[in-house]
Amino acid sequence: MIAHLSRRYLFSASHRLHSPEMSVAENQATYGKCNNPHGHGHNYILEVTVSGPVDQSTGMICNLVDLDECVKREVLLRYHLENLNMLQEFTETVPTTENLCIEIFEILQRSFSYAHLDKVKLEETMMNSFEYAGGRELTRA
């Protein structure tokens, strides 16, 4: 029997939305307050969903300790209390929450092998959130 497990994590980081391909006026028009050269920060909530058959001997899809350790090591340590613009993956890519969500999905896709990665959801504030499932449609809303 396939079940889907979701776990939520918190990290805080700062960013500035600015594209070198746009003029100053265009950046301002596109990103508004998010274009402030000094940056600003968010408390991001990361929701990771994995799925797989429930192992009859443990009752689990995968061991939560393994998932927590992987997310902590590969994602939280990398992003928590950092300025996203200073990181290698955002030197040429604007650190919007869309791009961060995709990046985190790809990191976990590479590093977590104990269950299938369904999707990554990233809440930037209580009012907006982004989901990425490796390009797949979200069929089980």
Partner 1 sequence: MVYLTRKAEFAASHYYHNPAFTAEENQRIFGKCNNPNGHGHNYTLEVTVKGEVDQRSGFVVDLKQLKEVMNREVLDAMDHRFLNKEVPEFFTKIPTTENLAIAAWQRLEPKLHNARLHRVRVYETPDLFVDFYGEE
Q: How many residues bind partner 1 (CB under 8 A)?
A: 22
Given a contact cutoff of 8 angstroms between Cβ atoms, the answer to whether 48 and 7 are in contact is yes
Give the span between the Cα atoms of 14 and 67, in whole angstroms: 25
Give least dist CB 39 to partner 1, A: 28
Would you list the DSSP string of 94-105?
A: ---HHHHHHHHH
Give least dist CB 7 to partner 1, A: 5
Stretch that binds partner 1, among 28-36, 63-71, 83-91, 104-112 (CB under 8 A): 63-71
Of 23, 37, 38, 59, which lies in the binding site for partner 1, with binding defined by CB under 8 A?
59
Q: Cα angle vertex 116, ends 83, 106, to 5°?
A: 30
61 is a site residue for partner 1 (CB under 8 A): yes
Q: Which residue has the tokens 């089980």?
A: 140
The site map against partner 1 for 2-41 (x = CB under 8 A) is xxxxxxxx--------------------------------
Q: What's the length of the chain?
A: 141
Q: Which residue has the tokens 């600003």?
A: 40
Q: Please state the separation of Cα 55 from the chain's center in Å.
A: 27
Stretch that binds partner 1, among 13-21, 49-57, 88-96, 120-128 (CB under 8 A): 49-57
122 is a site residue for partner 1 (CB under 8 A): no
Of 22, 54, 76, 87, which lies in the binding site for partner 1, with binding defined by CB under 8 A?
54
